[in-house]
Amino acid sequence: MTLKQYTFKLLTLAPVHVGSGENYSKKEVFFDGQKIYFPDLGEMYKVFCENGLEREFERFLQNGDTLSDFLLTKTTVKEKIKAISKISSSYPWALKKNKQGKLILPRMNVVAAQIKDPFGNPYIPGSSLKGALRNIILQYLIVEKRKENPEEIRKMMELSLKEKSDKEFTRQFLQTLILDGKNEPDAKYDIMKGVIVSDSKPLKKSSLIMVQKFDKLGKGTREGDNGHEISTFRQAIKPEVEVEFSITIDTSVYKDQEVALNLAEFFKKRNYRRCGEEETFESSRFELFVKSLNHQYTKEYLRKFELKNLDNIKKNTIYLGGGSGFLTKTIWMSLLDELDRFDKVERILDGQFSARRAKVYRDENRIVRKDLDGESVPQVIKIGKNKGKDNIAYVVEDRLHHGASPRNVKLVQYNGREYEMGKCCFIIKECEKR
């Protein structure tokens, strides 16, 4: 067995959320207008008992109030609850005020928890990074095969659409190891078999923030509709946090393999020269492909949404965790050219969400949509009445009305900026042999 070890360092360019599978309910989240606190329910009950409020606390657990509502008039207890909260985070966006000038507190009914170690420190599991690497490697192999035989890729794609699965691509491009003289459609023969990715080093609790999902629509949508907030809240690792992993590759797995991609060679640093330039630079095939994939994703998709802060197009960019969007988690960026891809992706999403093509508006003046050439495209499919007002439903087509599919990009707002969820840049370096 011959092992190669690498240090993989991430820098979060945006909030990153990897869920633990647990949620904080509205009874477990306390917001005082500046910070969000996550007190332990058992410790909180002790505080109320010590202050003779156990009966009131028990009634609170059975009614519909949030913890923030319940603590509004309980100043002394409120400060003690803050003191026992092991986890807290600043509120990342500006609060709105009502007509009386009072702050409107958000209704955080459920907050998805970030995965943490037994000491409460957030981290990113190795499985999240390995899954992202796997998807990039699969796309690389698809691109190389597409150059050689585009018709074969198209046939596989149509089969995948029919079966609503990418298993055929996994079988053809990843499960290619020959072990003991045989190969079967099984994870045992997957080229990722020789790759071990550690969990990240634990991060500081202060690196946690709270974010709210925000869907932004593509250009071509109706005037004045720039997207909307979604009542989905997540704990996340904040931007500009360094996260370190170790990757180990067992090179013996790839010995004497004719078809399977040798991942140790894929990650190997080499000297390259740009066209027309004398100076060389060091990189790997993996890093070069990641940059080209990010350039394509930015040019053909993200620019449809007129996003700011797209200056990191030349960085080694990778997306991790939840909420980063359909195209960052699938192989569709590498399967087809831009227009064909959008049509196929819309077909997939329409199949998964049957009602997504029909939009209903009560304002008659808003039924006229414009396509990207400026022509009016009203496609009314239903007219009815709702509380005495006209309900008008019409067909919405992603590329026609929004310029892209999926028609909204998944963002979060933090410190006055919009961020793509899960976006990171990385450096990978082979460790020296001891």
- Domain positions in the chain: 3-15+124-203+239-347+408-430, 27-106, 350-402
Nearest-angstrom CA–CA distance, 214 and 408: 9
Q: What is the pLDDT of residue 87?
A: 76
Q: What is the pLDDT of residue 376?
A: 45
Q: Would the CA dihedral through 271, 273, 278, 281 be positive or negative?
A: negative
Let me know if 298 is exposed, middle or buried by CB neighbors in 10 A (0-12, 13-18, 19+): middle
211-223: string of b/e by CB count within 10 Å (b at 16+)?
bbbbebbbebbbe
Report the SS3 class of residue 327. Answer: helix
CB atoms within 10 A of CB 94: 9
Residues 6+ apart with CB under 8 A from 387: none
97: tokens are: 């005020």
- 370 forms bridges with which residues in the sheet? 376
Nearest-angstrom CA–CA distance, 399 and 406: 9
Nearest-angstrom CA–CA distance, 407 and 328: 14
301, 288 contact by CB (below 8 A): no
Nearest-angstrom CA–CA distance, 311 and 123: 27
Which parts of 163-202 are beta strand (E)? 195-197
β-pairing, 3-12 with 242-250?
A: antiparallel
Q: What is the pLDDT of residue 367?
A: 42
Let me know if 37 is exposed, middle or buried by CB neighbors in 10 A (0-12, 13-18, 19+): buried
CB atoms within 10 A of CB 238: 22
Dihedrals phi, psi of 229, to nearest 5 degrees: -75, 145
Q: What is the pLDDT of residue 370?
A: 40
254: tokens are: 């790839």
| Alpha-carbon distances of 309 from 177, 313, 319, 387, 417, rounded to whole Å | 41, 10, 16, 44, 9
Among candidates 74, 96, 93, 94, which has minimal Cα distance to 30?
74
Ranges of residues in the chain whose predicted pLDDT is under 50: 222-224, 360-378, 381-382
